[in-house]
């Protein structure tokens, strides 16, 4: 297993559209293991393959407090959405330190393959529904900040670039 490098917004690779997994084999299972280790190491609750520069439809999620309830979604697709909406403050491993409110569907049904390549369906609400929608956005090249106003997006880009400059200056001093 390996800790993978997480792409940071506004890296253009975050906007690539992920391709469907053709076969769930040992290669895909290794990607899932590496993504899982990366997500846990980064203290995240979800990670899409796009975020680690693998452009295949793979997502790992664990919203449990104990970090022992891993959900693997391969080729996930939302098949039903409630009419109800909810607003939740989201963050993202690809946009560190930035949190903002995003409106999403309250309840969804998702179909996917598991690590054995078996098809399953899952009804989700609350944080799990939010997290699934957030991660599936990554698979179509969308980062959560793109749900925000263009003014907020510009402020976030400016804040990230400033933090990068400060980190480079600090690294040069060492």
Cβ neighbours for 170, distance < 8 A, ≥ 6 positions apart: none
CA 111, 112, 114 angle in degrees (round to 5)?
A: 140
What is the model's pLDDT at position 105? 98
Mean pLDDT computed over every residue of the chain: 96
- For the cut 80, the answer to whether the pLDDT of residue 174 exceeds it is no
Dihedral sign, Cα of residue 21, residue 26, residue 27, residue 32 = positive
Give the count of beta carbons closer than 10 Å to the beta carbon of residue 153: 17
Summarize the annotated binding site as residue ranges. Answer: 92, 134, 138
Q: Is the separation of the CB atoms in 102 and 144 below 8 Å?
A: yes
Summarize the annotated binding site for Fe cation as residue ranges. Answer: 92, 134, 138
- For the cut 80, the answer to whether the pLDDT of residue 149 exceeds it is yes
Domains of the chain by range and CATH? 12-148 (3.90.45.10)
How do residues 9-42 score in pLDDT, each as one tens digit? 989 999 999 999 999 999 999 999 999 999 999 9
Instruction: Provide the whole-model pTM.
Output: 0.93
Catalytic residues, by residue number, are 135
How do residues 53-77 score in pLDDT, each as one tens digit? 999 999 999 999 999 999 999 999 9
């Amino acid at each position: 297993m390996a800790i993978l490098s997480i792409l940071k917004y506004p890296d253009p690779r975050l906007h690539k559209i992920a391709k469907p997994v053709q076969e769930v084999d040992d290669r895909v299972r290794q990607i899932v293991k590496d993504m899982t280790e990366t997500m846990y190491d980064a203290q995240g609750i979800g990670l899409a393959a796009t975020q680690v520069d693998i452009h295949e439809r793979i997502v790992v999620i664990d919203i449990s407090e104990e970090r022992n309830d891993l959900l693997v979604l391969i080729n996930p697709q939302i098949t039903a959405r409630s009419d109800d909406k909810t607003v939740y403050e989201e963050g993202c491993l690809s946009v560190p330190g930035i949190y903002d409110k995003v409106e999403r569907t309250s309840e969804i049904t998702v179909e996917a393959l598991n690590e054995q390549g078996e098809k399953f369906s899952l009804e989700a609400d609350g944080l799990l529904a939010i997290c699934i929608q957030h991660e599936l956005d990554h698979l179509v090249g969308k980062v959560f900040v793109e749900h925000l106003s263009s003014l907020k997006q510009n402020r976030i880009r400016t804040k990230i670039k400033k933090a990068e400059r400060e980190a480079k200056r600090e690294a040069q001093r060492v």
